[in-house]
Structure 1
């Protein structure tokens, strides 16, 4: 395989910065996708916690225990926002609001990142 000469290499470099914009566009696209996926994964963890509480999952199960621990940390200020008498309703509302906020915030941030070009 032969290496291209100097003329061929200079054709690949775009003096107008188009290559840089293309690279930046790819990087921002990847970053935006990562933000959206992270927000979705967090919302899924919160939804699993809601399901485990509402349907009285076995708290001794390691999967249930781990998901509940993660959800507790991810719900931060949304925990105990409302205090109905039924704990299941409280978890449904509080963690449900947290999941929706993560989804909306993740989509907004991803959209803003995609606008960087």
Structure 2
């Protein structure tokens, strides 16, 4: 009987860990995609007054963390490409690292 409770508890823990992994995975991917979308809209010279463009820009700024002014090239487009690109790579790396840790807990 104790074995049944242990296996049931392990199954519940595995479900929770699996759910956390899914949330972490999607959150990290969403952050990277917002940053990449901001880069694409900036390089493509999207209308900055457009609702989509301004929403993506507003979402990207806090997601860029400390990377938004890490490099300061003279060309503002290049600055967005490099800084927000590095931030997107950071989110993908952090996502991968956290997913590994979460899965090891499970």
Same fold per TM (> 0.5)? yes
2:17 to 28, 33, 37: 28
Question: What is aligned with 1:57?
Answer: 46
Matched, 1:108 2:97: yes
- Report matched runs for 1:77-96 at 5 Å: 77-96=66-85
Whichever of the two has the greater Rg, that structure is: 1
TM norm structure 1: 0.85
CA shift digits 1:60-107 (9 cap, x unpaired): 110100100110111120011001111111100000000001011011
Gaps in structure 2 of 5+ consecutive residues = none
Distance in 2 between the 1:104 and 1:80 partners?
A: 20
Structure 1 residue ranges, 4+ long, deviating more than 3 angstroms after superposition: none
Tell me the residue number matched to 1:14. 4
Q: Which has the higher helix share?
A: 2
- Give the Cα separation in 2 of the matches to 1:100 and 1:62: 26
In 1, Cα distance between equivalents of 2:54 and 2:68: 17
Specify every segment of 5 or more residues in structure 1 that has no aligned partner in the other structure, as ranges.
Answer: 1-9
Q: Does 1:76 align with 2:55?
A: no
